[in-house]
Amino acid sequence: MAENSVIAEELKVINEPYEVVHQKAEAFYPQYERKGDLKHQTHYCPGCGHGVAHKLIAEALDDLGLQDQTILVSPVGCSVFAYYYFDVGNVQVAHGRAPAAATGLKRACPDKIVIAYQGDGDLAAIGTAEIVHAANRGEKITVFFVNNAIYGMTGGQMAPTTLVDQKSTTSPWGRRPVNEGFPLHMAEMLASLQAPVYIERVALSDNKNIMKARRAVRKALELQRAGAGFTFVEILSPCPTIWGKDPVEARKWVAEKMIPNFPLNVFRDRTVEIPNNNIPPHKTVAELVEGEHKTAGVAPVAGKHHHFNELGIKIAGFGGQGVLLLGQLLAEMGMREGLEVSWLPSYGPEMRSGSAHCHVCLSKERIGSPVLSRPQVLIAMNEISLRKFCAQVAPGGTILYGRERLPDDLSIPQAQVVCIPASEIADKLGSAKVANIVLMGALLEETECLSSLTAMQVLERKVKNPALLELDRKALDAGRVFIDHTIAIGAITQADGFAQ
């Protein structure tokens, strides 16, 4: 109830009169970067609704003081270059995927205002699944849906929103329901879902409707700022160029043809109730790990000095060799040592004995991408993986190869290769299954990236069977000892396990 009253308080401003200003919104760049002769104009056609919709959004961001905390997800379509205009955080995504990208952004940065800006081809055709599920999950994002009843950018193909009898390049005789189906009414469809908080359809047909659109845009953003759930504003918008009309006729067409087909309405307004959308935010990973440490009675290793800023480790082998588990263990160890971590698995299609690999990133800073194109370390558990990935290893990097020696025909000039007969060592200990832990021990000894104390803490938490835990402990030690004794005192030659 307390949260609802905060929201109600925040929303009071919605009905307050606006200050009239005649200047470009601060949320726009002072100058739009276009090439050569085009510098004086935007890339939108004269009379296009995108420009007006942009203006309404930018002014709302100004008025609400949200510019610095906004992330705009721009679509594929005529408005693909929205990031040239809005001076906010910008992300450009694949066709139709804005709600999915916005979901990730909002969940990762819940204090940001995340906006998905989409056309009707983008949202209602290729992106139907993304918008429906984001709305159904009640993602706390705002979607501005610019419906001009056509594919503008690609020259006028029929969109799901194209009106009955409306001509397009792919419905040259006009849309016939018997052949092409009826126009999709996205606002109504989404309003059949339980989660959305606010859904309104507005139109850029005349000044009165534009002012209503302005209010809807502000309200959606205010609701997001107040922590409410999914908000959606459908904006009926002119596309004079593709419709073959001048800007004035195009606006009239919005009023006379589009509005009767797409009635303007507030389809959902849960401003006051906002029942289940204000669940407390999820715990952060750090909080979760901290909690688990407490229940397991294990203190995290704090303040360990790491000699790297960011370390990328790729682990590859057959399914069943514990490739993915090894990655998970390393990631959890990194977390315990206060690092940012990511673990990205990749499975082959076969359930058994197919290839598998994963990327583990350990970093002192936030990780930009979990995909490692140049890992510093490769752990290759079989020859296929070694051959496949050795060239990716960064110059000066390290390869831990889980065999006694390198294949004779393979030379890896850029990296140091350490060969460890991990399966044989594991076999002698009692189970070939712990070959991955042997390699973990070798990795810790060779690179000193994480502490073996942390490794044991993580294993103790994961492995409940005391006999298996003992086996893992021996495997970890065996990997370390192998590097320490067998390798370090030997000559650095290929036959002894190294390649230079």
Ligand X SMILES: Cc1ncc(C[n+]2csc(CCOP(=O)(O)OP(=O)(O)O)c2C)c(N)n1
77 near ligand X, judged by CB under 6 A: yes
Angstrom distance (rounded) from CA 220 to CA 144: 9
From residue 23 to residue 52, the character string flagging contacts with ligand SF4 as x (rule: CB under 6 A) and all else as - is ---------------------xx--x-x--
CB 163 within 8 A of CB 183: yes
Q: How would DSSP label each residue in 404-467?
A: SS--TT---TTSEEEE--HHHHHHHHT-GGGHHHHHHHHHHHHH--S-HHHHHHHHHHH---HH
CB 393 within 8 A of CB 375: yes
Burial class (CB in 10 A: 0-12, 13-18, 19+), 391: exposed
Question: Minimal distance in Å, beta carbon 81 to ligand SF4?
Answer: 10
CB 278 within 8 A of CB 271: no
Question: Minimal distance in Å, beta carbon 117 to ligand SF4?
Answer: 13
239 near ligand SF4, judged by CB under 6 A: yes
Angstrom distance (rounded) from CA 365 to CA 368: 9
CB burial string 152-174: b at 16+ within 10 A, e below = bbeebbbbbbbbeebbbeebeee
Residue 120 interacts with, from ligand X, ligand SF4, none (CB under 5-8 Å by kind)? ligand X
315 near ligand SF4, judged by CB under 6 A: no
C-alpha closest to that of 75 among 14, 152, 21: 152
74 near ligand SF4, judged by CB under 6 A: no
Question: Minimal distance in Å, beta carbon 43 to ligand SF4?
Answer: 7
262 near ligand X, judged by CB under 6 A: no
CB 149 within 8 A of CB 254: no
> Which stretch, 75-83, 250-258, 352-360, 368-376, contacts ligand X (CB under 6 A)?
75-83
C-alpha closest to that of 95 among 116, 65, 110: 116
Q: By CB under 6 A, name the one of 67, 166, 231, 241 that touches ligand SF4.
A: 241
Residue 139 interacts with, from ligand X, ligand SF4, none (CB under 5-8 Å by kind)? none
From residue 112 to residue 131, the character string flagging contacts with ligand X as x (rule: CB under 6 A) and all else as - is -------xxxx---x-----
Residue 456 interacts with, from ligand X, ligand SF4, none (CB under 5-8 Å by kind)? none
Q: By CB under 6 A, name the one of 70, 118, 147, 148 that touches ligand SF4.
A: 148
Residue 76 interacts with, from ligand X, ligand SF4, none (CB under 5-8 Å by kind)? ligand X
Q: Which residues bind ligand SF4 (CB under 6 A)?
A: 44-45, 48, 50, 78, 148, 152-153, 239-242
